[in-house]
Structure 1
Amino acid sequence: MRNTRIRRAALAATAVTAALVLAACGNDSDTAGSGHQGHGSASPSAGTAAAGAHNAQDVSFAQGMIPHHQQALEMARLAATRASSAKVKDLAARIEKAQDPEIRTMSGWLKSWDEKMPSGSSTGSGMPGMDHSDMPGMDGSSMPGMMDGKDMEKLEKASGADFDTMFLTMMVEHHRGAVEMATAEKTKGRYGPARAMADDIVTGQTAEITEMNKLLGKR
């Protein structure tokens, strides 16, 4: 009888010990599971933050390129009624088609970043003849390639072949300035979409510079 009691006590102790071990393992598993779940939920947020990260260069690029594009649109829209060359009119239409959406995109970036819009700008084009030449560039100087008020006034008054030559000459300079600004963004910017747009600007406007020089009789 005594041996039977001892055996039962030992079995009971063993059962209790096993239960405690299993409970401890279960707690460890739960803790580990919670840890993995927390890590998994943090990853998308970290990825989103990285994808949306931007720096001062990205802000300067958008704030500078918006008025730069707006002036290009002002020039391009004059071609519809003043140019005599069908090729010049076609080029101007393509410039407007490419740059107007980019203005809207960059305006959206600035709003999402809670940054100031360029003075006098809107989500569309600026007013005809607006002088943007004193807008600060990315290094604090005037933006490269911008026409001043007198240049814009001359272009508005020109027509026919004179307009074509003046438009192409001014737009080549304007495009070169945009390429310079976009190249700086590609080198120093952090925001992926801004750098991608900058790459498109360099590629597209460099090709248009070549096209315009050919129309001017330059090689």
Structure 2
Amino acid sequence: LAAAAAVTDRLKLGTGIALVVQRDPIHTAKEVATIDVLSDGRFLFGIGAGWNLEEMANHGTDPARRFGLMRERVEAMKAIWAAEEAEYHGDQVDFGPIVQNPKPVQKPHPPIHVGGVYPGGLRRAVRYGDGWMPIAGRGDSDPGGWVRARDEECARVGRAPAAVEISVYAAPQDPARLADLAEAGIDRVMFGLPPEGPETVLPILDRLAGLVGGLSGG
């Protein structure tokens, strides 16, 4: 991401997703702020709790408590980004006053997009995120239903629906289905790419750009 930030000017950069339940929040806050500075405020912080229970345990995370841990680590990072001297005291995250720089370019912090299927993923996104990343083909995959559920959950907690974007992860590479997502009010789609060289990846990017460009009008 740092390398991409250095050679681009307009491209959004993001994680999809960072497993914050397996990462130290103080160190992660520093990394996020640094990438946001290097990109001049183009970073989107996609987060999640993960699914691999054995992997979580290897990182010292109790899988049964991972969602509470994720919330506390996000709250702790928000405090670090916003305050000159930050501290956090929770059930699973606890540290005294610290000073950390740089601060993010985006204020009060880069947008936090929470990955996860409906309904739990949406509830967490509305509670402490700025966006929700449902996975296409997992759980309830009705885009109109996603938008309605987002609006209802935001109304329940007193947030504006526009403050919680919906970005579909692993979106279908089909023009008709992409048009359905756009018509339903989905804000962003994300496609997968193979771990191959430029001779394979660049033609795929050109094709995907054409699909999305057709929906946006250019």
Q: Which has the higher contact order (CA 8 A, sep 6+)?
A: 1
Same fold (TM over 0.5): no
Taking structure 2 as the reference length, what is the TM-score of the superposition?
0.22
- Indicate the structure (1 or 2) with the bigger Cα radius of gyration: 1
**1 or 2, which has the higher strand percentage?**
2
Taking structure 1 as the reference length, what is the TM-score of the superposition?
0.22
**1 or 2, which has the higher helix percentage?**
1
